Amino acid sequence: MRFTLNGRTVSLDVVGTRRLLDVLREDLGATGTKEGCGEGECGACSVLIDGEVVDSCLIAVGQVEGREVTTVEGLADGGRLTALQQAFIEHGAAQCGICTPGMLLAAHVLLRNSKRLSADAVREGLAGNLCRCTGYTKIIDAVLSCTK
Amino acid sequence: MHEVKFIRPRSLADAVEIYRRTPGCRPLAGGTDLMVMLHARTLRPEPQVVLDLWSLAELKGVRRVEDMIEIGAAESYTGIIASPDVRQHLPALAAAARTIGAAQIQNRGTLGGNLANASPAGDTLPVLLAYDAVVVTDRRAIPIDRFFTGYRNTALQPDELITAVRLPLGRQVVFRKVGTRAAQAISKIVMAVSRGPARIAIGSVAEVPLRARRAEAALDRGDVEGAIAAVADDIRPIDDVRSTAAYRRMVTQNVLRELLLSVR
C-alpha cells in the first residue's frame, strides 16, 4: 500500500488492520506521534489525514491508502519551526511533552481554519487533547498568541 | 500474531457482495468503536476480515429525498454538523453530533457506526428515535423503533449493511446530554424529546436506547406532570462506572421537565 507521509510517498507491505499509530512508530520510525490511552480519549496520537485531525490509534492503516498523513514531524519546514511551535516554546506550553505533538496538530488545524479565535474556541478545538500535567493555560495562551 | 485481513471494496455493490459471501467479516467505518475492540481483541465473534466502508462515496453525504433528509451511513459527524439541511431542519441531530467526543472523534464517527454498535449510550440514538428515523440497508428500510432488539443487538441480518438514515422534515426535537464534562464524555443519561408527536427517547438508562412509552402516553394527553412521573417507570437504569441508578432516575425526570418546558 501507499500513502503520503509528510509530503513523501511511502510504500509498505503491511496488514491493513494494523493501527496507523503502530505503523508510524514501528515501521516508519515516526515516533513523534505518541500513544496515550489507545482508545480515542486522550488525543496524544493525533495526526492529520488530508488535513483533518484524527486519533491514529483508531485508524486502520489500510484506510489511509492514497491519502496524505501529516505527523508532528511534518509541521516544521526543515529546521524552521512553525510560528505555533515557536509560540509553544516561548510560552512554556510543554511540560512532560507527551500531549505536545497532538496539541500542536489539533491547534494547527484550528489556526488554519480561522485566524481569529476566542479562548473558548481554542478550548473547544483542543477538547480532544488531554494534558495530564494540566498545563492547559500555557497551551491556550500559546495558540491564542498566533491569532493576533 | 493473529492477523485480521483488511478489504477495501471498490463500490457499495462490491461491499454488499463481499459481506454476503465472507465468513467472519466485520464492517468498519470510522473506527471510533471498532478499532479499540479490534486492537484489544474483544470483538465477539472474532473477525477474520474487516471490510472498510469509510471511503465509499455512496455512503457519504447529506441529501434531500422527497420530504426526508437522507444521511449516508458513513458520513462523519463533522459533515453532518456542517450540513445546511441538518442545521436548518434537524438542529437536535447537529446538537447531539457536537457533543460526541471532540474534533478527532467527530471527524470519524458515523451514524451507521453508532447504529450498528447499538450502545445504550450512543449519543445520536435517542435523537434518531425522537425523529422516527428510518434505517436504510442494502435490502430494506427499518423503522428505528424496531431497530434495537436487546443489549448491543439490532434487527440487522448477519449479512445486512446499513447504507443511510432518513429523517423527516418539520419536527421539533430538543436534546440534552448529561456527562462528566462537555467533551470526550460518555453520557450518564442522554435524551431527545418531541411534543408533536409525543416522543421521549432516552439513552444510558436501559440495555437499549429506549422510547419512554408510558411517559409518551401521558404527554399525548397533555399531562406533563404525568409524563415526568411515568418516565421513572419506563427506564431501567443500573449502577455502573459512570453513574448510579438513583442518580439516573432523578436526572432523567429533571431533564425531561427541562426539555418539555423548552418545546411547545
Contact B102 A127 (CB under 8 A): yes
Contact B184 A125 (CB under 8 A): no
Say yes or no to pLDDT of B173 above 90.
yes
Q: What CATH number is given to the structural domain containing A138?
A: 1.10.150.120
Give the number of other CB atoms < 10 A from CB of residue B191. 27
* Domain end (from A74, A102, A137): A74
Which of A21, A37, A58 to mutate to test binding with chain B, by most B CBs within 10 Å of its CB?
A: A58
Query: Do residue A103 and residue A69 come from a single domain?
Result: no
Nearest to B8 by CA among A85, A120, A100, A66: A66
Whether the CB of B57 is below 8 Å from some CB of chain A: the reply is no
Q: What CATH number is given to the structural domain containing A31?
A: 3.10.20.30
Whole-angstrom Cα Rg for chain A: 15
Maximum pairwise Cα distance, chain A: 45
What number of CA atoms fall less than 13 Å from residue B19's CA on the CB side?
23
Residues spanned by the domain of A8: 2-74
- The confidence score (pLDDT) of residue B264 equals 67
Query: Do residue A68 and residue A29 come from a single domain?
Result: yes
β pairing state of B62-65 and B68-72: antiparallel
Query: B91: helix, coil or strand?
Result: helix
Query: Do residue A116 and residue A138 come from a single domain?
Result: yes
The proportion of chain A whose per-residue pLDDT surpasses 90, expressed as a percent, equals: 94
Cell for B46?
472474532
Query: Do residue A68 and residue A90 come from a single domain?
Result: no
Query: Do residue A69 and residue A7 come from a single domain?
Result: yes
- The confidence score (pLDDT) of residue B2 equals 64
Which residues in chain B have their CB less than 8 angstroms from residue A15's CB?
A: 3-6
Query: Do residue A38 and residue A102 come from a single domain?
Result: no
Nearest to B54 by CA among B13, B2, B112, B105: B112
Q: Which residue of B has its CA nearest to A59?
A: B31
Query: Do residue A63 and residue A99 come from a single domain?
Result: no
Whether the CB of A83 is below 8 Å from some CB of chain B: the reply is no
Contact A17 B4 (CB under 8 A): yes
Say yes or no to pLDDT of A138 above 80.
yes
Query: Do residue A34 and residue A93 come from a single domain?
Result: no
Query: Do residue A47 and residue A28 come from a single domain?
Result: yes
What's at A74, amino acid-wise? Answer: G
Going along chain B from its start, the domains and CATH numbers come out as: 5-52 (3.30.43.10), 58-168 (3.30.465.10), 173-262 (3.30.390.50)
Q: How many domains in chain A? A: 2
Predicted complex ipTM exceeds 0.90: yes
CA distance A38 to A58: 8
pLDDT in tens, B95-141: 999 999 999 999 999 999 999 999 999 999 999 999 999 999 999 99
Q: pTM to 2 decimals?
A: 0.95
Say yes or no to pLDDT of A88 above 90.
yes
Query: Do residue A40 and residue A95 come from a single domain?
Result: no
Q: Helices marked H in chain B — which ranges?
A: 12-21, 34-40, 77-82, 84-89, 91-98, 103-106, 111-117, 125-130, 213-220, 224-234, 245-262
CA distance B27 to B20: 11
Cell for B185?
464524555
Query: Do residue A61 and residue A99 come from a single domain?
Result: no
Say yes or no to pLDDT of B1 above 60.
no
* Domain end (from A24, A55, A74): A74
Residues with Cβ < 8 Å from A30, sequence gap 6 or more?
A5, A6, A24, A71, A73
Contact A58 B30 (CB under 8 A): yes
Query: Do residue A99 and residue A137 come from a single domain?
Result: yes
Residue B191 contacts residue B202 (beta carbons within 8 Å): yes
* Domain end (from A51, A74, A97): A74
Exposed, middle or buried: residue A51 (CB in 10 Å: 0-12, 13-18, 19+)?
Answer: exposed
Contact A58 B102 (CB under 8 A): no
Q: Which residue of A has its CA nearest to B182?
A: A127
- The confidence score (pLDDT) of residue B185 equals 80
Which residue in the set A58, A127, A130 is minimally distant from B35, CB to CB?
A58
Whether the CB of A1 is below 8 Å from some CB of chain B: the reply is no
